[in-house]
């Protein structure tokens, strides 16, 4: 009886000191075997015998078995790097990110990578156009030589100063505008049409009425799927000088692009054009018929590659009543 009264007195004393001390006092009343069963080693609120995930990250929302609740997040695969003034070689700082990009390309062998080179507004437009192409080509060369990505999967383009992300010409904005952006693209999942070839007559690049009619299925898809992209690749036969053929093939691609932009208001950001000259023939240029086959524009419908990852949900999410009644509008 005396022992029981003494124990009660000690507990009352501890309760008067702090709640934590009271819990220590209460715990001391249980046998060791029971205390072991009530332990929560990762402090997630689920005792060890019921905890199927004993190492839950601190602060995670959990289910009844003590496992973290997660959500699947989808994101577009993208690479971006900045450059110093007049430079086009990639800084070593970005090489680890480039390795991750190459790993993703290897995981998706049917994908392409589209590389945009850009400059700030300092210097002449012609110089900036050449510099931006060098930046895109430098990134392409690294992917080819260091990571063995096939050249045919790489589309390097230079836009000079035409597409700034910051309009004001300050030191900080110029640094942001001197950049390359690389996006991984995959063929558009479309059962009806994904690529098509348009023939051209010798030395011609203007679109005929018939060619415009043949473009309608592509245009319809572009209008119905606003997130889709179009790659327009111009080609020539082997007649003529190399420089002439490169210019002619680019003109063919740009004619198609201009038609999409002007007649159907397709955003230029969704259109990629590239001229290959006579470097990628479909067949040998040994007959008139074969040369006619090589004079062409190839059009491909693409979409941005999306990857997914599991994200652990936070333990507490606090909502504002105003936000629930008047949700914010996002573009």
Both 171 and 205 in one domain: the answer is no
pLDDT of residue 57: 75
Both 174 and 204 in one domain: the answer is no
Both 89 and 162 in one domain: the answer is yes
Which of 187, 220, 254 is the endpoint of a domain?
A: 187
Query: Residue 169 — pLDDT band, cuts 50, 70, 90?
Result: confident
pLDDT of residue 315: 60
For residues 252 and 205, give the distance between their C-alpha atoms in angstroms, rounded to a whole number. Answer: 5
Both 181 and 80 in one domain: the answer is yes
Both 130 and 50 in one domain: the answer is no
pLDDT of residue 61: 76
Radius of gyration of the chain (CA): 31
For residues 331 and 322, give the distance between their C-alpha atoms in angstroms, rounded to a whole number. Answer: 20
In a domain, 312, yes or no: no
Instruction: Indicate whether 76 pLDDT > 80.
Output: no
Q: Which residue segment(s) compose the domain that 94 sits in? A: 74-187
**Cα torsion through 274, 180, 79, 144, rounded to 10:** 60
Query: Residue 79 — pLDDT band, cuts 50, 70, 90?
Result: very high
In a domain, 267, yes or no: yes
- Read off the pLDDT of residues 249-296 as tens digits, 9 standing for 90 and up: 999 999 999 999 999 999 999 999 999 999 999 999 999 999 999 999
Instruction: Indicate whether 200 pLDDT > 80.
Output: yes
Average pLDDT (140-155) is 96
Lowest pLDDT segment from 1-10, 114-123, 201-210, 301-310: 1-10
In a domain, 327, yes or no: no
pLDDT of residue 60: 75
In a domain, 161, yes or no: yes
Domain CATH number, residue 262: 3.30.1330.60
Q: Is the dihedral of CA 315, 319, 324, 330 positive or negative?
A: negative
Lowest pLDDT segment from 30-39, 112-121, 155-164: 30-39
DSSP of 301-323? EEEE-EEEEEEEPBS-----HHH
Both 272 and 175 in one domain: the answer is no
pLDDT of residue 296: 96
* Longest Cα separation, the chain: 116
Q: Rounded to a whole number, what is the distance in angstroms from the first to the last CA of the chain?
A: 74
In a domain, 280, yes or no: yes
- Read off the pLDDT of residues 12-44 as tens digits, 9 standing for 90 and up: 444 444 444 544 555 555 566 666 667 766 676
Structure tokens at 85: 């003034």
Q: Which of 115, 122, 270 is nearest to 179 (CA)?
A: 115
Both 233 and 285 in one domain: the answer is yes
For residues 166 and 163, give the distance between their C-alpha atoms in angstroms, rounded to a whole number. Answer: 9
Number of domain units in the chain: 3
- Read off the pLDDT of residues 177-199 as tens digits, 9 standing for 90 and up: 999 999 999 988 765 556 788 99
In a domain, 330, yes or no: no
With tokens 């030191």, the residue in question is 171
Which three-class secondary structure state does DSSP give residue 187? strand
Instruction: Indicate whether 128 pLDDT > 80.
Output: yes
pLDDT of residue 233: 95
Both 157 and 200 in one domain: the answer is no
Structure tokens at 216: 């309608």
DSSP of 225-274? -TT-EEEEEEE--S-S-HHHHHHHHHHHHHHHHHHHHHHH---GGGEEEE
pLDDT of residue 192: 53
Query: Residue 318 — pLDDT band, cuts 50, 70, 90?
Result: very low
Which of 66, 91, 108 is the endpoint of a domain?
A: 66
Both 161 and 224 in one domain: the answer is no
In a domain, 248, yes or no: yes
Which of 159, 187, 215 is the endpoint of a domain?
A: 187
Lowest pLDDT segment from 67-76, 104-113, 216-225: 67-76
Both 134 and 52 in one domain: the answer is no
Both 62 and 80 in one domain: the answer is no
In a domain, 90, yes or no: yes
Both 147 and 84 in one domain: the answer is yes
* Apex 187 CA angle, 182 and 192, nearest 5: 150
Burial class (CB in 10 A: 0-12, 13-18, 19+), 72: exposed
Is the pTM higher than 0.75? The answer reads: no
């Amino acid at each position: 009886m005396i022992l029981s009264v003494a124990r009660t007195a000690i507990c009352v004393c501890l309760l008067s000191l702090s709640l934590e001390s009271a819990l220590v006092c209460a715990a001391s009343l249980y046998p060791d075997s029971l205390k072991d069963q009530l332990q929560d080693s990762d402090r997630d609120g689920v005792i060890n015998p019921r905890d199927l995930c004993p190492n839950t990250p601190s602060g995670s929302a959990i289910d009844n078995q003590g496992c973290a609740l997660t959500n699947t997040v989808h994101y577009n695969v993208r690479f971006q790097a900045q450059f110093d003034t007049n430079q086009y070689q990639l800084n070593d700082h970005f090489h680890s990110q480039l390795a991750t990009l190459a790993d993703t390309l290897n995981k998706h062998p049917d994908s392409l990578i589209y590389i945009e080179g850009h400059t700030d507004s300092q210097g002449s437009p012609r110089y900036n156009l050449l510099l931006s192409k060098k930046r895109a080509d430098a990134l392409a060369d690294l992917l080819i030589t260091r990571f063995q990505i096939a050249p045919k999967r790489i589309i390097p383009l230079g836009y000079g100063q035409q597409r700034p992300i910051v309009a004001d010409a300050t030191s900080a904005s110029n640094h942001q505008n001197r950049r390359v952006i690389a996006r991984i693209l995959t063929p558009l999942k479309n059962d009806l049409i994904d690529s098509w070839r348009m023939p051209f007559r010798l030395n011609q690049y203007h679109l005929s009425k018939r060619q415009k009619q043949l473009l309608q299925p592509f245009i319809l898809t572009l209008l119905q799927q606003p997130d889709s992209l179009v790659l327009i690749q111009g080609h020539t036969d082997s007649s003529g000088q190399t420089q002439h053929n490169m210019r002619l093939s680019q003109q063919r691609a740009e004619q198609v692009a201009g038609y999409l932009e002007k007649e159907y208001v397709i955003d230029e950001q969704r259109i990629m054009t590239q001229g290959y000259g006579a470097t990628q023939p479909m067949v040998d240029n040994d007959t008139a018929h074969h040369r006619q086959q090589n004079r062409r524009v190839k059009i491909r419908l693409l979409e941005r590659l999306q990857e997914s990852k599991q994200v652990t949900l936070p333990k507490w999410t606090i909502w504002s009543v105003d936000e629930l009644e008047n949700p914010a509008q996002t573009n």
